[in-house]
Amino acid sequence: MSWIPSWRAVPVAPGSVVAPDERLPWPHTLAMGVQHVIAMFGATVLAPLLMGFDPNLAILMSGIGTLIFFAVVGGRVPSYLGSSFAFIGVVIAATGYAGSGPNANLGVALGGIVACGIVYTLIGLAVMATGTRWIEALMPPVVTGAVVAVIGLNLAGIPIKNMAPTSFDAWMQGLTFLAVGLVAVRTRGMVQRLLILVGLIVASVLYAVLTNGLGLGKPIDFSGVLAAPWFGAPRFAAPVFDPAAMLLIAPVAIVLVAENLGHIKAVAAMTGRNLDPFIGRAFVGDGIATVVSGSAGGTGVTTYAENIGVMAATRIYSTAMFVAAALIAFVLGFSPKFGALIQTIPLAVMGGVSIVVFGLIAIAGAKIWVDNRVDFSDARNLMVAAITLVLGTGDYTLKFGAFALGGIGTATFGAIALHLLLRPRPG
């Protein structure tokens, strides 16, 4: 089996299905690549801003990471890799980031991200050697749903407590999540799929009218955008390998496994193809991409549900368009003016968007339960979910000497341990 596919060109036909090993004419493939960049743009930029990372570098590494993933899976799995929200809570906990501006302890976070990528890669190699059954047994839907939900719930206090310093900012947060909600409900097609990005733009324009125009709050300063060059290198950074931070961040690999596994199953269902033989390679590709990103100063990366949604809407699953998307992201990563424009987004607007995003993460966990028909009349499932949610939401912390395992870590390991320990007695 070759590592790089040979795509069969197919004509443009309304409503037709384009398989992973097929492609539209190259101009159309490039246009589809632009659409996928737009689809992942909002979350891939939002995640680094919430952690104090350089968004330009995050965009650049998302493109590089996607190319790495593509090469490792041999172009058989259509997917885009973007910034993972699973890292936000643990990165903030490890670095003490206040929520605005560059992260002063960025190196410590990067060391943890690299460690997570290594663990993730090792899990992928193990899956390649032994198959996927043991992962599905260790992390059944009741566990993965609880862990994913906890990520959003654990982060809930950040936008509400740290990203609305004034009464005006709090009201602006409300207008922001209202704008996102209206886009989600009142629009259709691609605009609806870009609800985060479109809502953010609408709220930023409204903020500028209220502040720059009417003087009701801190105005947006566009001087940095005007001064920034069109092209230039992003801010690369080196990791610092702090044992406590590495132990805190590395367990996120379990969440990435759950995300990637769910995404691959979803793509397999849409394409009608068995992608199980590529699960291990997909884990390895994502793990290597995370190591490379963290080594250069970028965020941890993961497969993106947004792009799966675009594929479902268009019925185009060609892996060629993800190569195009990756190359477009690579070019955008070298535009400081693009990065400066992102930095002008008001903190309150970011806070309002964060409320929506973190809530959607929590709901994604619940959706795993619903889709897999988790039976909560079963006492074992009920206890695993109930205890895990409170551990993560309440930020339950266990200390081992100088090391502290915070809410997301205790919830993740707790969910797995509870599911194993609470097995019913035989007979």
Secondary structure tally for the chain: helices H, strands E? 20, 6
> Picking from 7-11, 41-45, 133-137, 318-322, which range would have the lowest pLDDT averaged per residue?
41-45
pLDDT reading at 44 higher than 90: no
Residue tagged 């032994």 (tokens): 130
As a whole number, mean pLDDT of residues 361-378 equals 85
- Report the DSSP beta bridge partners of residue 303: 81
> Minimal CA–CA distance to 69: which of 263, 303, 256, 228?
303
Q: Tell me if 347 sits within 8 A of 163, measured CB to CB.
A: yes
> Picking from 39-48, 225-234, 327-336, 355-364, which range would have the lowest pLDDT averaged per residue?
39-48
What is the separation of C-alpha 409 from the centre of its chain, rounded to a whole number of angstroms? 18
> Minimal CA–CA distance to 62: which of 306, 278, 247, 263?
306
pLDDT tens string 173-187:
999 989 988 988 888
pLDDT reading at 1 higher than 50: no
Could you tell me the CA-to-CA distances from 72 to 7, 124, 128, 323 in Å, in that order? Answer: 17, 11, 12, 13
Three-class SS state of 218? coil
Mean of the per-residue pLDDT values of the chain = 84
Three-class SS state of 377? coil
What is the pLDDT, as a whole number, of residue 190?
Answer: 56
Please state the pTM of the whole predicted model.
0.71
Could you tell me the CA-to-CA distances from 162 to 100, 128, 165, 299, 392 in Å, in that order? Answer: 9, 43, 7, 21, 19
As a whole number, mean pLDDT of residues 223-236 equals 85
Three-class SS state of 99? coil
How far apart are alpha carbons 203 and 45 in whole angstroms?
16
Q: Tell me if 82 sits within 8 A of 44, measured CB to CB.
A: yes
Domain boundaries, the chain: 29-417
How far apart are alpha carbons 81 and 403 in whole angstroms?
31
pLDDT tens string 273-296:
888 888 899 999 999 999 999 999
- List Cβ neighbours of 122 (8 Å cut-off, separation of 6 or more): 287
pLDDT reading at 300 higher than 80: yes
Highest mean pLDDT: which range of 2-6, 251-255, 292-296, 406-410: 292-296
> Picking from 102-106, 262-266, 333-337, 353-357, which range would have the lowest pLDDT averaged per residue?
262-266
Residue tagged 């979803």 (tokens): 266
